Structure 1
Amino acid sequence: MQLGIFTIGDVTQDPTTGRTPTENERIKATVAIARKAEEVGMDVFATGQHHNPPFVAPANPPILMAHLAAQTEKIQLGTATTLITTTDPVRIAEDYSYVQHLADGRVDLTLGRGNTGPVYPWFGKDIRQGIPLAVENYQLLYRLWREQSVNYSGRFRTPLQGFTATPRPLDDVPPFVWHGSIRSPEIPEQAAFYGDGFFHNNIFWNKEHTERMVDFYRQRYEYYGHGSYDQAIVGLGGQVFMAKNSQDARRTFRPYFDNAPVYGHGPSLEDFTEQTPLTVGSPQQVIERTLSFREYAGDYQRQLFLVDHAGLPLKTVLEQMDILGEEVIPVLRKEFDAARPAHVPEAPTHESLVARHAAGKDPIPGGGPDSQAAKDRAQQAEAAQRDHENAK
């Protein structure tokens, strides 16, 4: 199990002091948080991508990832998310390969569509085409990382003729891709088709919805022949705030929750913690709640927490990370790993992907010849051929 944190890089006023950090302070705080994540033994730090206030998550995440790669040694650097809809796949292929080299393979990315409507036209796109953009752009990205010379023509960008993305992926193995979605089944379908990971950032959703999304992805992963239902690669989000006892945690966090830019002035803290994965309480309560995710998501590979949003000052965030590193993550890692059956894979790393590639076991998009998907396609082709012959 990979355990870590993600940031959306919001620049939000601290409701208890009235002070708003400067953009420079927030950016430098993000670097401090990432370094702290490695210091306390976390496995992953993931950054968002934004083009609009009140966010300073980088418009091009590899800039931050490269900076962090130079200041860390072990932690996996990821995204939450990379905007596949409004970012040119050529730039994604080249920029993430470049940072993959700088980080010696400690890079992966989570692709997402973005839900800020005004951003799309800034880049000549239409939010109503979000799903087709995600599907077509990833088709191209997938090829750019695996083919030396790409000829391409599609709906959403200029054609390519004999194009080679540089640099090539480290060890000829692209960064692992998670496909992130909170509500659209087309995205877990896409993840399953390619044999990629599915990240359900369930911070705003109840467990029944999360269960449906993960279950659908697992079924389709098996259908395409990439492994059994329980071998599909799943990641989940979450939010936590902790104190020695739940009363202190709720009292401290309540003003931040009530004024948060996304869900503030909406449901009560009590309702939100009951209906979503947000856990505000003692470290033991966070442990028990997080372990319960396995009851409806199955054995999964990555758990990321949001801890630095809603105006929380850096000092408080670093204290939260100390608690996570000292009291929560060691227990979660031990319990999750002990419960995971031997045939269920661990989270992909560059090393495991290199070994898979060397063994000739890379997933075949759409399913190999032994998959149910391939058998269904063969039956459909035979039926079409019979219909054609009967129509003569």
Structure 2
Amino acid sequence: MQFGIFTVGDVTPDPTTNRTPTEAERIRDTVAIARKAEEVGLDVFATGEHHNPPFVPSSPTTLLGYIAALTERIILSTSTTLITTNDPVKIAEDFSVLQHLSGGRTDVMLGRGNTGPVYPWFGQDIRKAIPLTVEHYGLLRRLWRERVVDWEGELRGPLQSFTLAPQPLDGIPPFVWHGSIRTAEIAELAAYHGDGYFANHIFWPASHTRTMVELYRRRFAHYGHGTPEAAIVGLGGQAFIRPNSQDAMREFRPYFDNAPVYGHGPSLEEFSSLTPLTVGSPQQVIEKTLGFRAYAGDYQRQLFVVDHAGLPLKTVLEQLDLLGGEVVPVLRKEFAVGRSPDAPDAPTHQSLLRARDAGTGAPAPRNPGSREDRTR
């Protein structure tokens, strides 16, 4: 099982000092956080994609390419690449380059984003978000798998005799996760192609996440990729950790109360009881995270957000020391206990390469030509 962190790249004032970092500081701090994540033994660093203030990660592959040069082991991913507003050709090119730069330490999480105005900024119509997702991803898959692509769709201009350069490293496309919070069509899309499904359930109760993951697992099996337990699931989470819970609650409360995304709403205690947010001791984070398996089953990737709401870099690095030193080692051990033999490890470039060379790649969907079956 993989453990890591993801960032949304927000530039938020520190409510305890009223100081707002510059954009340059926030970008440099993100690099330091990624390097620290590798140092403490985490498996994955992922960044979001935003094109509006107060966020800075408008070019995720640029950021990840820089981090790739400064790291050796950690997998570099996105915690959303906008499949709706980015052109599929550019996504294919950027991630192929990142694969080569990182030696294969690359995968991608696709999503629609949560900022409505981004659609017209890139010449798209938010009312066509689902059709854009399906059409763009269909083209992206072909670009990564076919040497010469002739293609025509409804929402983008046609391609004639197009060849991607560079080709994916070793002929293996980056593994794709489909990130979604609430949309059944995205779980269906992930299941149809046998891709990963990432339920970023940080704002949602367990009952909703259970429904979405169960739908994905059921449809994954329907399309002939294996048992429901063989489906590839990732979950989001949020944590603020101190050696004792009282200190954690006291220190994090002003950040929570003033955070742009959930401040001035439910109390810290209410939000923690309803969502995956855990503010407390290492043991409390361990116990709550282990509880995710009760409604998601045996899953493959757990990512935490730890650098949001204006937390200063020093505090974030301390969080990573606790996460990597006291939390994740226990989670690795406990999640292995009683794990279903059908539950695979999270795919990596090397595991996909071995599977291809051994001729054990995933089977094709049973009904690849049926639009009704793809979008039910």
Q: Please state which band the TM-score falls in when normalised by the shorter chain.
A: over 0.9
Give the aligned partner of residue 4 of structure 2.
4
Q: Please show how residues 141-180 of structure 1 align to structure 2 within 5 Å.
A: 141-180=140-179
Map 1:282-361 to 2 at 5 A.
Answer: 282-361=281-360
Alignment check: 8 A CA contact 1:182 1:202 kept:
yes
Give the paired residue count. 371
Equivalent pair of 1:244/1:283 in contact (CA under 8 Å): yes
1:251 aligned partner = 250
Greater CA deviation, 61-70 or 84-93? 61-70
| Structure 2, gaps ≥5 residues long | none
- Greater displacement, 334-343 / 76-85: 334-343
Partner Cα distance (2:132, 2:313) in 1: 37
SS at match of 2:5: strand
The residue aligned with 2:134 is 135
Pairwise CA distance, 1:157:
1.4
* Maintained 8 Å contact 1:197/1:232: yes
Whether the aligned pair in 1 keeps the contact of 2:111 and 2:178 (CA below 8 Å) is yes
Contact 2:5 2:305 in 1 (8 A): yes
Question: Based on CA coordinates, which of the two structures has the bigger radius of gyration?
Answer: 1
- Once the two structures are superposed, residues 19-51 of structure 1 have per-residue CA deviations (whole angstroms, 9 ceiling, x without a partner) of 000001000000000000000000000011111
Aligned AA (2:14): D
* SS state at 1:16 partner: coil
- Alignment partner, residue 390 of structure 1: none
1:387 — aligned with what? Answer: none
The 1:349–1:170 alpha-carbon spacing in structure 2 relative to 1, beyond 3 Å, is: same
CA-CA distance at 1:359 after TM superposition: 2.8
Distance 1:358 1:194 in 2: 20
- Letter of the 1:4 counterpart: G
* Counterpart residue type for residue 100 of structure 2: H
- 1:111–1:178 CA contact under 8 A, matched in 2: yes
Match of 2:21 in 1: 21
Tell me, in whole angstroms, the C-alpha distance in 2 between the residues paired with 1:13 and 1:300. 35
| CA contact 1:205–1:276 (8 Å) conserved in 2 | yes
State the partner residue of 1:53.
53
My pick for the range that moved more, 333-342 or 45-54, is 333-342
Hey, what does 2:273 align to over in structure 1? 274
* Alpha-carbon contact 2:61-2:98 (below 8 Å) kept: yes
What is the deviation of 1:338? 2.7
CA distance in 2, matches of 1:183, 1:343: 27
SS of the aligned residue for 1:203 comes to: coil
Question: Percent identity among equivalent residues?
Answer: 67
Segments of 5+ residues of structure 1 without an aligned counterpart are 368-372, 381-392
2:33 is the alignment partner of 1:33: yes
Structure 2 equivalent of residue 217 of structure 1? 216
**Offset, 1:365:** 4.6
- Superposed CA deviations along residues 318-347 of structure 1, whole A, max 9, x for unmatched, are 000000011001000111123322331001
Is the 2:178–2:197 Cα contact (8 Å) retained in structure 1?
A: yes
- 1:177 partner SS: strand
Q: TM-score, normalised by structure 1?
A: 0.93
* CA deviation string 1:79-109 (max 9, x = no partner): 0010100100000001100110110100000
| 1:155, distance to aligned residue in structure 2 (A) | 1.7
Task: Tell me, in whole angstroms, the C-alpha distance in 2 between the residues paired with 1:341 and 1:97.
Answer: 33
Report the Cα distance in structure 2 between the residues aligned to 1:13 and 1:269, rounded to whole angstroms: 19
Give the TM-score, by structure 2 length. Answer: 0.97
Cα pair 1:193 1:220 within 8 Å, conserved: yes
Measured after TM superposition, the shift of residue 364 of structure 1 is: 4.4
Equivalents in 1 of 2:268, 2:348: separation in Å?
Answer: 37
**Structure 1 residues 343-378: Cα deviation after superposition (integer angstroms, max 9, x where no partner):** 3100101111011222333334533xxxxx58x97x
